[in-house]
């Protein structure tokens, strides 16, 4: 019984540690119309990310250190959790921004959990 309590405590600690892991979202966006992308899509996307607690860490053309170069504009956004990112992704604000953005480019988005804090 004591072993069960210890294992349960360790599992609970592991679950809590995972809950505190940041999530990094990496975008590699292919932009077909830079002017429309910058003027119509970017402000909507930026506002929706901020409204749901995301933090922009970097953005630009990106430089390949090894392997194929990025196809377009690379953006790095930090979220407190995958749940927070998912809430944003399913939000009406993001869906509106995405509909506008698809007129001007295409998106490749990857999420990865960071190290426990």
Instruction: Tell me: pLDDT of 3 over 60.
Output: no
Residue 94, classified by CB atoms within 10 Å of its CB into exposed (0-12), middle (13-18) or buried (19+), is buried
Average pLDDT over residues 20-43: 95
Q: Where are the domains of the chain?
A: 22-113
Give, in words, the CATH class of 22-113. alpha beta
Give the global pTM. 0.79
Q: Considering only CA atoms, which of 26, 74, 73 is closest in space to residue 54?
A: 26
Burial annotation 38-58 (CB, 10 A radius, 16+ → b, else e): eebbbebbbebbeebebeeee
């Amino acid at each position: 019984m004591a072993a069960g309590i210890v294992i349960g405590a360790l599992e609970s600690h592991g679950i809590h540690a995972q809950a505190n892991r940041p999530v990094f979202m990496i975008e590699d966006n292919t932009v077909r119309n830079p002017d429309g992308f910058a003027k119509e899509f970017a402000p909507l996307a930026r506002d929706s990310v901020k409204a749901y607690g995301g933090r922009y860490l970097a953005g630009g053309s990106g430089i390949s250190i090894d392997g194929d170069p990025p196809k377009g504009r690379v953006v790095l956004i930090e979220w407190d959790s995958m749940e927070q990112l998912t809430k944003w992704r399913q939000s009406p604000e993001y869906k509106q921004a995405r509909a506008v953005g698809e007129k001007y480019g295409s998106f490749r988005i990857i999420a990865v959990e960071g190290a426990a804090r």
